[in-house]
Chains A and B, each alone.
Chain A
Amino acid sequence: MAAKTLFEKVWEQHLVAEPANEPTLLYIDLHLVHEVTSPQAFDGLRLAGRKLRRPDRTVATVDHNVPTTTNRLIIEDAIADKQINTLRKNCKEFGVELYDVEDIEQGIVHVIGPELGLTKPGMTIVCGDSHTSTHGAFGALAFGIGTSEVEHVMATQCLPQSKPKTFRISVEGELAQGVTAKDIVLGIIGRIGTDGATGYVVEYAGSAIRSLSMEGRMTVCNMSIEAGARAGMIAPDETTFAYLKGRRHAPKGAAWDEAVASWSKLKTDPDAKFDREMIIKAEDLAPYVTWGTNPGMVIPVTDRVPDPAKAQSDNDRRAFERALEYMDLKAGVAIEEIPVDRVFLGSCTNSRIEDLRAAAKVVTGYHVSPHVRAMVVPGSHLVKQQAEREGLDKIFLDAGFEWREPGCSMCLGMNPDILQPGERCASTSNRNFEGRQGRGGRTHLVSPEMAAAAAVTGHFTDIRQWEFKGEEVLA
């Protein structure tokens, strides 16, 4: 049998039909739904008199618009309120299970899928959301789709897809202290650019990837889309199985053993060929900070804002200049000298328990700078509860952070959590596009540790030099 990549194995298990001169029909195991990209799809079904083919393979939650303040049932923005109520009505009408704001299992769609064990190795997973790539951390083929495709999956449980190319990125060696999963993926995007993986499914491999926790792997896969990739994947292994075991929707007993036996085969064969390969040495990575208006505009924290004159093309130079103007930065300024006004710890990239633990460790014994407003938004209710059990909420609150209810929050600012024009934010989210966190807001993407340190000092700070106080509190 021909040697195959992980991607090919999953792809082949989901081929419904391969009509000549047409895209392949791919079966979808899990369809995640949220309030923003679904109303028009449900409408389409209604108009055509169609039903949802597989409600049992469909899960909905509210996350993008929800308030992160304690009273979550009152949404002052009437249009947002209507959108959420529309999802409630649609879920009822079409028989979809909905994790609503009051539900203990509610959270950001890409946080709750894995957390509840809905996400499993070898699955095909889609959602009307580009960060669906997160679920690839389990060895699933997971990708974002548009609303027409959402409707298509609702009606048929499959999708016409042309086969993407394959790209293996191996990160080999050991990460230095203070260099995180977020830095791996920022380092990759910095190297290949925001369109560097367009048309490809990326498989992340190598010893540095294998040694990551599931949370770390999710952070890496999450940002695959920021390099343009169709999806990111990591082969499942003992770390994956240990994470899944005992989760609410994980198989139990004999079914578990059978599942693990099947999942264990999901590895790229030794002789399998990729369309493209890249190897990165873990020791070459550093804690990164983005300086511009896309995630590819990124440099190590110890560096300086780059000079547009050094850009590779005229187009790039203009983009650099525009970015510097928008970010109100001058070439040559040391990143560590850039002050921040806001700090946001959250989003489907970095709002899991491990992220909160890591940030809490940094702020223990410190206080947020008086010029900074900092908030923590856990990715889900379950993450929030767990953090509270561990006393992390207290550490954050004592240090002067706001401790909020779960949701997307300031990652995209659809709810009231936004930056004011001109405000500068150290954010653990995934996009630093113009206006992403609020019109005129300036976003710098960093790891949770780096965000926490910036909150304390009031400017970007090399976490490798950090003096940790009172680690025993968290031991």
Chain B
Amino acid sequence: MQPFRTLTSVVTPLDRVNVDTDQIIPKQFLKRIERTGYGEFLFFDWRQDPNFEINQPRHKSSQILVAAKNFGCGSSREHAAWALSDFGYRCVIAPSFADIFHSNAGKNGILLITLPEEQVQALLDRAAKTEGYKLHVSLEDETVHDDQGFSAKFSIDPFRRYCLLEGLDDIGLTLRHADKLDNFEQAHNTKHWLAPRT
């Protein structure tokens, strides 16, 4: 996983609430067995509209998406995170995120920043008004700021932060606890009523 430290990029404003993962990557693209190549299908249905934010030339090569509340709700498909990252997004800012998407994003090096609704609205407004509107994100300092005086602190779960900063593989981290796992499992195996098959 690519480590995430700081990022400066043009912002794509997506002023919609409850953006679900079915929109981020529609089901017809879930049949592939690869992990890559989903970027071209990102927001496939919405992108049929030439005015859709992501289609606008001014947002080309943007790596920061700003959206309204409950971003990433619905299906657990990690393809949503793959599509965002494959398209080039490395950071999403919103007032809230759905749980499973939150975890999927982290595992793919995408930083999710939760900011209060008013601040997100301010970013959406500025990005809509100012051509080439940019944000600077620092995960090290947990800050977001622009060149017009906007500045905000965010906070993120310390462990998630550490993994993102270092670009760490989760399985490797878990295997540090292999002894505990072996011991636990031995005792747990005796609870036959928790075994799937009899």
Chain A interfacial positions (CB closer than 8 Å to B) = 13-17, 19, 21-23, 25, 27, 29-30, 36-37, 39-40, 43, 48, 50, 56-57, 59, 64-65, 77, 79-80, 82-83, 86, 117-118, 120, 122-123, 128-130, 144-149, 151-152, 155-158, 160, 162, 194-195, 198-199, 225, 228, 230, 249-252, 255, 258-259, 262-263, 294, 315-316, 318-319, 322, 412-414, 431, 433-436, 439
Q: How many angstroms from the CA of A22 to the CA of B28 in the assembled complex?
A: 37
Q: How many angstroms from the CA of A230 to the CA of B76 in the assembled complex?
A: 11
Which residues of the partner chain A approach B76 to less than 8 Å between Cβ atoms?
A: 37, 128-130, 144-146
Q: How many angstroms from the CA of A39 to the CA of B26 in the assembled complex?
A: 18
Which residues of the partner chain A approach B193 to less than 8 Å between Cβ atoms?
A: 120, 122, 251, 255, 258-259, 262-263
What would be 6 A-B contacts, judged by CB atoms less than 8 Å apart?
A: A19-B177, A22-B173, A122-B194, A144-B76, A433-B22, A433-B23
Which residues of the partner chain A approach B78 to less than 8 Å between Cβ atoms?
A: 37, 40, 128, 146-148
Q: How many angstroms from the CA of A251 to the CA of B195 in the assembled complex?
A: 9
Q: How many angstroms from the CA of A152 to the CA of B23 in the assembled complex?
A: 26
Q: Cβ of B192 and Cβ of A86 under 8 Å apart?
A: no
**B129 part of interface (Cβ distance < 8 Å):** no
Among A145, A151, A157, A250, which residue has its beta carbon within 8 angstroms of that of B198?
A250
**B68 part of interface (Cβ distance < 8 Å):** yes
Within 8 A of A (CB), among B47-73: 68-70, 73
Interface-lining segment among B4-12, B130-138, B145-153, B180-188 = B180-188
Minimum C-beta distance from A369 to chain B (A):
28
Given A36-B30, A77-B31, A83-B32: A433 in contact with B96 (beta carbons within 8 A): no
Q: How many angstroms from the CA of A208 to the CA of B104 in the assembled complex?
A: 36
Q: How many angstroms from the CA of A412 to the CA of B26 in the assembled complex?
A: 10
Which residues of the partner chain A approach B70 to less than 8 Å between Cβ atoms?
A: 194-195, 198, 228
Within 8 A of A (CB), among B153-198: 157-159, 170-171, 173-175, 177, 180-181, 184-185, 188, 191-198
Q: Cβ of A195 and Cβ of B96 under 8 Å apart?
A: yes
Which residues of the partner chain A approach B185 to less than 8 Å between Cβ atoms?
A: 27, 157
Q: Cβ of B31 and Cβ of A80 under 8 Å apart?
A: yes
Q: Cβ of B69 and Cβ of A59 under 8 Å apart?
A: no
Among A129, A225, A255, which residue has its beta carbon within 8 angstroms of that of B192?
A255
Q: How many angstroms from the CA of A446 to the CA of B103 in the assembled complex?
A: 31
Q: How many angstroms from the CA of A155 to the CA of B75 in the assembled complex?
A: 23
Please list the 5 inter-chain residue pairs (A to B) with the smallest Cβ-Cβ separation, ordered nearest first.
Answer: A259-B193, A39-B33, A146-B78, A146-B104, A148-B107
- Range of interface residues on chain B? 35 or more
Q: Cβ of B74 and Cβ of A40 under 8 Å apart?
A: no
Q: Cβ of B73 and Cβ of A194 under 8 Å apart?
A: yes
Among A15, A16, A40, which residue has its beta carbon within 8 angstroms of that of B33?
A40
Q: Cβ of A151 and Cβ of B171 under 8 Å apart?
A: yes
Interface centre among B15, B76, B98, B184 (most CB of A within 10 A): B76
Q: Cβ of B181 and Cβ of A16 under 8 Å apart?
A: yes
Minimum C-beta distance from B43 to chain A (A):
11
Q: Cβ of A319 and Cβ of B181 under 8 Å apart?
A: no
Q: How many angstroms from the CA of A315 to the CA of B17 in the assembled complex?
A: 7
Q: Cβ of B22 and Cβ of A435 under 8 Å apart?
A: yes
Considering only CB atoms, which chain A residue lies closest to B183 in the complex?
A: A16
Minimum C-beta distance from A49 to chain B (A):
12
Among B45, B81, B108, which residue has its beta carbon within 8 angstroms of that of A435?
B45
Minimum C-beta distance from B65 to chain A (A):
16
Q: Cβ of B180 and Cβ of A146 under 8 Å apart?
A: no
Given A146-B100, A250-B198: A316 in contact with B17 (beta carbons within 8 A): yes
Minimum C-beta distance from A329 to chain B (A):
18
Among B30, B103, B108, B195, which residue has its beta carbon within 8 angstroms of that of A29?
B195
Q: How many angstroms from the CA of A419 to the CA of B196 in the assembled complex?
A: 37
Minimum C-beta distance from A161 to chain B (A):
9
Minimum C-beta distance from B171 to chain A (A):
5
Q: Cβ of B196 and Cβ of A29 under 8 Å apart?
A: yes
Q: Cβ of B177 and Cβ of A130 under 8 Å apart?
A: no
Q: How many angstroms from the CA of A48 to the CA of B117 in the assembled complex?
A: 42
Interface centre among B33, B69, B81 (most CB of A within 10 A): B33
Q: Cβ of A255 and Cβ of B22 under 8 Å apart?
A: no
